[in-house]
């Protein structure tokens, strides 16, 4: 490349905040949605007809040994489609969103370099956002400051905290709703510690098309009930107790639903543990549905009454029409 061409590329990156290659790249395909809605099967079906590979966006399937409780996809279910970011961490590890972003971007670039389509699949919204919006996790974490801000919120209320943010970072305050209390606290924290301001979630670094697996709430809850029952049949309890000699319930991976509840078995018994897993999973599904509402252009995919191959064909058609 000539010196003049190199200078043009540097000017382009300085002007638009992205590389020329990133600006020209085809959109990423994202299959997201609540737990138990059939994301994995749909992603595999899409990969098979769209020359793609799957990048998992699940915060617990990254751990080796946590298979049944995370409903981790099996080799047979992968149907020969290459999957990334599954079984990449040991149960003793602490794995952060920043760790995920680094590995996911590396996997994405590798897939693109081989002329294939990266397909992100999962329900951990922060993981997906960390990549497509290039979220920064910099800033000095001060547990004392976090605790003080939380106390201040309890004493003075969420409206006061939102006004406090406005005095520190008007742009963040304009983007964040007063009820989005966790992100308001994080934005204040970043402003006070010199970290980056709350990121703008309106300008993605990478182009993408998101499809959300969707089904009626009562159908989803019934599927969750049956899914947990099936986990028990497969040996969920044994999986949990086999892990305990190596790690305790205080480890990050054991905070996952279907694992953390077993710490209470001695107090409430097995049947109540199972009921609690079902309840916590339903609540988690509701939070996931709420999270993905922030993507107004996401296309809902009705999962009930349709073959997954048929849905994959529809996604392919929509994806290619919008490129």
Give the pLDDT confidence score for residue 200 in this predicted structure.
Answer: 56
Crossing angle of helices 308-321 and 39-50, in 10° steps, is 60
Q: How confident is the model at residue 65 (pLDDT cuts 50, 70, 90)?
A: very high
Domains and CATH numbers, the chain: 26-135+201-321 (3.40.50.300), 143-193 (no CATH)
Give the pLDDT confidence score for residue 142 in this predicted structure.
Answer: 67
Give the pLDDT confidence score for residue 82 in this predicted structure.
Answer: 98
Beta bridge partners of residue 209, listed in sequence order: 29
Sheet holding 52-56, edge to edge: 83-84, 52-56, 117-122, 28-33, 208-214, 299-302
Give the pLDDT confidence score for residue 215 in this predicted structure.
Answer: 98
Higher pLDDT, 21 or 248: 248
Model confidence at 126: pLDDT above 90: no
Model confidence at 152: pLDDT above 90: no
Model confidence at 220: pLDDT above 90: yes
The pair of structure tokens assigned to 151 is 């106390």
Give the pLDDT confidence score for residue 140 in this predicted structure.
Answer: 58
The pair of structure tokens assigned to 259 is 């694992």
Give the pLDDT confidence score for residue 195 in this predicted structure.
Answer: 57
Give the pLDDT confidence score for residue 103 in this predicted structure.
Answer: 97
Give the pLDDT confidence score for residue 323 in this predicted structure.
Answer: 61
Q: How confident is the model at residue 175 (pLDDT cuts 50, 70, 90)?
A: confident
The 3-class secondary structure across the chain, one letter per residue, is CCHHHHHHHHHHHHHHCCCHHHHHCCCEEEEEECCCCCHHHHHHHHHHHHCEEEEECCCCCCECCCCCCCCCCCHHHHCCCCEECCCCECCCCCCCHHHHHHHHHHHHHHHHHCCCEEEEEECCHHHHHHHHCCCCCCCCCCHHHHHHHHHHHHHHCHHHHHHHHHHHCHHHHHHCCCCCHHHHHHHHHHHHHCCCCCCCCCCCCCCEEEEEEECCHHHHHHHHHHHHHHHHHHCHHHHHHHHCCCCCCCCHHHHCCCCHHHHHHHHHCHHHHHHHHHHHHHHHHHHHHHHHHHCCCCEEEECCCCCHHHHHHHHHHHHHHCC
Residue 54 phi, psi dihedral angles, 5° rounding = -100, 135
Higher pLDDT, 129 or 30: 30
Higher pLDDT, 273 or 10: 273
**For residue 240, which of 219, 259, 261, 216 has the smallest C-alpha distance?**
259
- Alpha-carbon Rg for the chain in angstroms: 21
For range 145-157, the mean pLDDT: 86
Spell out the residues 6+ positions from residue 119 whose beta carbon is closer than 8 angstroms to its own.
28, 29, 30, 31, 43, 46, 47, 50, 52, 53, 54, 55
Higher pLDDT, 35 or 155: 35
Model confidence at 9: pLDDT above 50: no
Give the pLDDT confidence score for residue 137 in this predicted structure.
Answer: 67
For range 149-169, the mean pLDDT: 85
Give the pLDDT confidence score for residue 283 in this predicted structure.
Answer: 93
Give percent above pLDDT 70 in the chain: 86
Model confidence at 90: pLDDT above 80: yes
The predicted-structure confidence for 182-199, as pLDDT tens digits, reads as follows 888 888 887 776 655 555
Q: What is the C-alpha separation between 309 and 320, in angstroms, rounded?
A: 17
Provide the whole-model pTM. Answer: 0.77
Q: How confident is the model at residue 97 (pLDDT cuts 50, 70, 90)?
A: confident
Give the pLDDT confidence score for residue 4 in this predicted structure.
Answer: 43
Q: What is the C-alpha separation between 75 and 77, in angstroms, rounded?
A: 5
Give the pLDDT confidence score for residue 202 in this predicted structure.
Answer: 63
For range 8-36, the mean pLDDT: 65
């Amino acid at each position: 490349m000539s010196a003049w061409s190199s200078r043009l590329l540097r000017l382009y990156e300085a002007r638009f905040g992205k590389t020329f290659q990133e600006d020209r790249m085809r959109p990423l395909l994202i299959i997201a949605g609540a737990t138990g809605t059939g994301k994995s099967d749909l992603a595999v079906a899409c990969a098979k007809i769209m020359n793609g590979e799957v990048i998992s966006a699940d915060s617990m399937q990254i751990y080796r040994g946590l298979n049944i409780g995370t409903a981790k996809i099996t080799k047979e279910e992968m149907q020969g489609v290459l999957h990334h970011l599954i079984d990449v961490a040991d149960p003793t590890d602490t794995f952060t969103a920043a760790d995920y972003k680094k590995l996911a971007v590396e996997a994405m670039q590798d897939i693109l370099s081989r002329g294939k389509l990266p397909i992100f699949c999962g329900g951990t919204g922060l993981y997906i956002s960390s990549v497509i919006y290039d979220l920064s996790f910099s800033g000095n974490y001060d547990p004392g400051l976090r605790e003080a801000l939380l106390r201040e919120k309890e004493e003075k209320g969420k409206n006061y905290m939102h006004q406090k943010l406005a005095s520190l970072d008007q742009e963040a305050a304009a983007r964040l709703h007063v009820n989005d209390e966790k992100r308001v606290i994080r934005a204040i924290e970043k402003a006070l510690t010199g970290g980056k301001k709350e990121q703008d979630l309106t300008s993605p670094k990478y182009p993408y098309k998101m499809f959300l697996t969707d089904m009626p709430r009562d159908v989803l809850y019934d599927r969750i009930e049956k899914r947990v029952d099936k986990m028990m049949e497969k040996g969920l309890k044994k999986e949990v107790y086999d892990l305990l000699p190596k790690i305790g319930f205080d480890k990050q991976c054991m905070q996952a639903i279907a694992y953390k509840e077993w710490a209470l078995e001695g107090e409430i018994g097995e049947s109540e543990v199972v009921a609690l897993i079902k309840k916590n999973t339903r609540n988690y599904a509701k939070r996931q549905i709420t999270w993905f509402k922030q993507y107004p252009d996401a296309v809902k995919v009705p999962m009930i009454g349709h073959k997954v191959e048929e849905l994959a064909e529809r996604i392919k058609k929509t994806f290619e029409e919008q490129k």
